[in-house]
Amino acid sequence: MGKTVTLAIANDDMHQPIWWRRILSSEHPLPWLLPASALMVVFGMYPLIAAIWSSLHRKNAATRREVFDPAYNWIKIFHEPRMWDALLHTLMYTGIAIVFQLVLGMLIALLLDSDRKGYGVMRAMMTLPLVIPPAVTAMMFLLMLNGSFGVIAKGLMALGLLPPGYTILGNYSTAMAGVLLAEIWQWTPFMVLIMLAGLRSLPKEPFEAAAIDGATPVQAFFKLTLPMMSKVIAIAVLIRGVDLLRAFDYIKVMTDSGPGTATETLTSYAGRIYFGNADFPLASTVALLTLFLVIVTSTVFMRIFKVKL
């Protein structure tokens, strides 16, 4: 009797596919979307929602109790002078790094934009700094900027640009420059590669016409190259800008936000609140503020420069 029932179900199943078989068929989009969606939920949505939820609580550092108080951290953070300093440092860090990386990246790309022998190798070598972990780059520069034996610091002292024994990273007025040096050294090649790709895809005809009309290379650069490269530049700036607004590794290793708060950015400030004071709700609030800053600036940028991703 049992065998008969089983067979009947099996036959029925063969004629009318059950829902999960239909879904698993190649024509249905769900199986293809599911893994990516699951990853996004676990690693993207859940942390974001957890951070938002956490930011709506007030933590008592003594008892470790968290009570629901939605406005507390948001009001507190906007009344905190250190947050405004961190915001200013974040914007400064991003702005200065972008300008240097963009200008240097374009200059180096123009130099390397050639089919002559050896240039291919040089272009390949430009990628080398990119494969070094940022924390290692930061440590290398930490040693090189050391006032006692660092090669950069000693070089600047020998040139008379710094007084003997001067500590670049231990001094309020030069610490940010020291960190930026590492950042610019490592990420300028990224700009070079993007610019090179852009330069090599430009049509030759406009440049030939300009040359026939007597345009100088400088005129050709400003009147032709730059306008034609504007989209490429905008995308490069957008990618690096988003990264720079979240700057953390170089600062953590080289100055740990110091001296004082001279190199403290929003992310390093959040880190200090999180790991130092264990105030997770407040740290989440600062992290969300950073996210908000990234979204707003990139959206505005994309509107202004009409970038479509």
Partner 1 sequence: MSFREYDKKTFLVDAANDFTARRISKRSFLKKSALAGVGFSAFNLGLLGNTRRYRDSYNLIGTPAWAEETGDPEVNKWLKDVGSKFKGTKIRYTSEATPPTVVLDKLKGEFTALTGIEVEIEIVPLEQVLAKATQDVQGQLGSYDLYYLDQSWVATFAQDTVDPIANYKDKPDLAMPGMDWEDFSKPLVEGLAMYDGHWAGIPFDIPIMTTMWRQDIFDKLKLTPPNTPEEFMTCAKAIYEAEKGNGMFGTGLQAKSGHYSLECDWTQVVWNSGGSIFTKHKKFSGNDEAGIKGLQYYQELLKISPPESTNSTWDGQWQMGASGQIALVNSWDEFFPGWDAADSKVKGLWMAKRPVRGAAYRSVADAGFGEIPNAGHQGGSILGLSKYSKNLDAAWIFMQWACSKDIMTRCTLGGGFAPMRLSSFADPRVKAKEVVGPGTTRHLPIVKEIIDNDMASEPDMPLWAGFSNNEIPVNLGKLLTGQDYGGDAKKCMDDIAGQINKAVADAGL
Q: Which is nearer to partner 1, 59 or 123 (CB)?
A: 59
Contact with partner 1 (CB under 8 A) among 79, 148, 212, 213: 148
With both helix axes pointing from N to C terminus, report the angle between 134-144 and 151-158 in degrees, rounded to the nearest 10. 40
259 upstream amide cis, omega within 30 of 0: yes
| 61 forms part of the interface with partner 1 (CB under 8 A) | yes
Q: Which is nearer to partner 1, 90 or 298 (CB)?
A: 90
Tokens standing for residue 50: 């957890």
| 280 forms part of the interface with partner 1 (CB under 8 A) | yes
| 79 forms part of the interface with partner 1 (CB under 8 A) | no
| 171 forms part of the interface with partner 1 (CB under 8 A) | yes
Binding mask 113-142 for partner 1 (x = CB under 8 A): --------------------x-xx-xxx-x
Query: What beta strand segments (E) does the chain contain?
Result: 57-59, 66-68
The burial class, CB within 10 Å (0-12 / 13-18 / 19+), for 21 is exposed
Contact with partner 1 (CB under 8 A) among 83, 97, 147, 196: 147
Site size for partner 1 (CB under 8 A): 46
CA distance 168 to 158: 14
Considering only the stretches 21-29, 97-105, 275-283, 287-295, report the one whose residues sit in contact with partner 1 under the rule CB under 8 A.
Answer: 275-283
CA distance 166 to 147: 5
Residue from 265, 288, 289, 284 nearest 274 by CA:
284
Tokens standing for residue 164: 């003997």
| 236 forms part of the interface with partner 1 (CB under 8 A) | no
Residues at the site binding partner 1, with contacts judged by CB under 8 A: 60-64, 133, 135-136, 138-140, 142-143, 146-151, 154, 158, 165-167, 169-173, 253, 256-262, 272-280
